Amino acid sequence: MLKLRHVSYAFGSHWVLKNVSFEVEPGEFVFLFGPSGAGKTTLLRVLHGSLSLQRGGAHVAGFDLSRLTKRMVPKLRRAVSVVFQEFKVLPHKTVRENVALPMLVRGIPRAQMERRTNAICRVLRLENRMNLPCRGLSGGEQQRVAIARAVVTNPYLLLSDEPTGNLDDELSTRLLEIFKQFNQFGTTIFLATHNRRLLEQVPQAKVLHLEDGYCE
């Protein structure tokens, strides 16, 4: 599902990722664990094709990132769902519209789209926010909208950047339970966090430690 070999990445002369190598098998639950500034978001952005590979080799969900052309990026983005640290929900669209968007793009029939949107919003306790524009929601609610939008298509691979950053303890626990369920149904989970408590909640998960750009 993921295979990195000696990946390094620099912003100008500042090397943020240093010779990172690891593999993730389909169906694994993996934490990318490391302190603030370690390079977690940068690594996720490389995996998602929003930063181009500078050094090393990487395969993501069957895509060879060293051969990724601009035209292939939308295909990669359909195979790989991502929840960004800063959510990126569309502020003027409603919760319902935000969550349905990836299904609209894929041409999923309307009835099925509505069924799935309602179901995932219920799971994430957004059912009475469905018709409100996202700009009026709290940070934690917007984060849950971003998560609903990312999982609503049953992705093969879910990349998630600090998904519980704005959630209280109860919602964080609940969210990890949801991720575990998706994982049991076959979604590979790759979750970046600096919060050690999350690791304790998924004891069977693999933990990759990222520190100052080095991964082990």
Q: Which residues of 165-186 are buried (b: 16+ CB within 10 A; e: fewer)?
A: bbbeeebbebbbebbbebbeee
Q: Which does 163 bind (CB under 5 to 8 A by kind): ligand ATP, Mg ion, none?
A: none
| Partner in contact with 172, chosen from ligand ATP, Mg ion, none, beta carbon below 5 to 8 Å by kind | none
Gap between the Cα atoms of 40 and 90, Å rounded: 24
Radius of gyration of the chain (CA): 17
Residue 19: CA count within 13 A, CB half-sphere: 2
Q: Determine contact, residues 82/156, Cβ cutoff 8 Å.
A: no
Q: Which stretch binds ligand ATP (CB under 6 A): 29-37, 100-108, 145-153, 173-181?
A: 29-37
Q: Cβ 40 to Mg ion, closest distance in Å? A: 5
Region binding Mg ion by CB under 5 A among candidate stretches 54-62, 84-92, 116-124, 202-210: 84-92
Q: Does 41 bind Mg ion (CB under 5 A)?
A: yes
For Mg ion, the closer CB: 29 or 84: 84
Residue 164 interacting with ligand ATP (CB under 6 A): no
Angle at 121 between CA 151 and CA 42, to 5 degrees: 35
Q: Which of 13, 36, 128, 131 binds ligand ATP (CB under 6 A)?
A: 36
Query: Applying CB under 6 A, which residues contact ligand ATP?
Result: 11, 16, 34, 36-42, 85, 194
